[in-house]
Amino acid sequence: MKNLALLISAALVSTSAAATGYYSDNKSTVKIKNNSDGNHVTIYQASPSSYDGNTSDVLIDYDSDYNYVTVNQYGEKNNSDVDITYNSDNNAVYVSQSGYYNDSKVGLHNYADENTVGVYQDGYFNYSNVYINKGDWNNVHVDQYGNYNMSDVDILGENADYNYVSVSQGGDYSKSKVLISDGYYGPTSYNTVYVTQTNNDYSNVEITHGSSYNTVYVTQY
């Protein structure tokens, strides 16, 4: 077991870190918080298929802006969790997972605005969850290649507006779910969602609780 714990707090800038492991489960924890701006974090994790996967947790919060994080995981049963919260703006996070049964979760909430998130999953039975709550002008791109993949996108109020989400699923028997709801606390408006799927796939879109002026495109071929 290899573990990396990295905490960036207060005024640290231009910091780079890497976690690498090959023969056992790996775990990486990165926290960028308390007005920490302009940091660069790179995480690389790999493990043989005979072992359980890798775990990466990234937290950016409390007015931490313009940070850049990349997470690369190879093997089976990898888990990546990214949270950007509490007025943390203009951050960029990219997650790449190759293998089977991978799990990616991205949360943008508590007035985290103008962030960019990219999730790339290659393999079978992968799961991606994107959750935007009380955040505006965020850009999220999810690409899944392989069969039996699942994408879940939630854009919830209050006032989660002008977000852009694109989901592309290449392969068979994949599922995509999109929920846009004001959550009873304020309107959720002017969001745009694109979903593109290939053969034998399923798409579900729900817009509810007074959410208005949202645009959803679903293409299946």
Q: Give pLDDT, residue 22.
A: 46
Read off the pLDDT of each residue in 8-17 and give the average, rounded to a whole number: 41
- CA quadruple 17, 142, 188, 181: dihedral positive or negative? negative
Q: Are strands 202-208 and 175-181 parallel, antiparallel or unpaired?
A: parallel
Q: What dihedral angle (degrees, nearest 10) is formed by the CA atoms of 17, 56, 151, 63?
A: -60
Per-residue pLDDT band at 196 (split at 50, 70, 90): very high
The answer to whether 88 and 60 are in contact (CB under 8 A) is yes
Q: Give pLDDT, residue 143.
A: 96
Q: Give pLDDT, residue 14.
A: 37
Residue 172 and residue 148: Cα distance in Å, rounded? 6
* Least confident stretch, 17-26, 158-167, 195-204: 17-26
Residue 157: pLDDT above 50? yes
Q: Which range marks the domain in which residue 63 is found?
A: 7-16+31-219
Q: Give pLDDT, residue 208.
A: 85
**23 part of a folded domain:** no
Number of domains, the chain: 1
**150 part of a folded domain:** yes
Per-residue pLDDT band at 84 (split at 50, 70, 90): very high
Q: Give pLDDT, residue 159.
A: 76
* Least confident stretch, 89-93, 129-133, 185-189, 213-217: 185-189
- CA quadruple 121, 118, 175, 182: dihedral positive or negative? positive
208 burial (CB, 10 Å; 0-12 / 13-18 / 19+) is exposed
21-43 residue pLDDT tens: 444 478 999 999 999 999 999 99
